Amino acid sequence: MGRMYADGIVGTQTSLEQQIRWHLKGNHYPPVHESFVDVAIQAINAVNGCEGNTVINMPNGKEMSAYGIVDGLHLDSWCYPSEEDF
């Protein structure tokens, strides 16, 4: 599981929402609650849109930057680096 599993489901015919749901439940112990699926997608979109410092409200009442969410939930398989990241 882990990174290889995430890389394997990226780009499949499955919706991004379903990919993230599988990732949060199957690649984390304990599994991350499905209420974080929308937050994960917001974070991915922000990072891919070069807005990784955007603060996102999470279902647990905390706030975190999109970069922090991507890092914490191991969502880098869905993020595409820009030239600024090198």
Q: What is the per-residue pLDDT across 46-83, written as a single tens digit (0 to 9) for each?
A: 999 999 999 999 999 999 999 999 999 999 999 986 55
Specify if 60 maps to a domain: yes
Start-to-end C-alpha separation, the chain: 28
Q: Which is more confidently placed, 11 or 1?
A: 11
Inside any domain, residue 44: yes
86 has pLDDT over 70: no
Q: How many domains does the chain have?
A: 1
Contact 45, 75 (CB under 8 A): no
Structure-block tokens of residue 73: 């939930």
In a domain, 86, yes or no: no
Domain of residue 39, residue span: 3-81
Residue 14 falls inside a structural domain = yes
Compute the mean pLDDT over every residue in the chain, rounded to the nearest whole number. Answer: 87
pTM summary value: 0.83
| Token representation of residue 3 | 């990174």
Domain for residue 45, yes or no?
yes
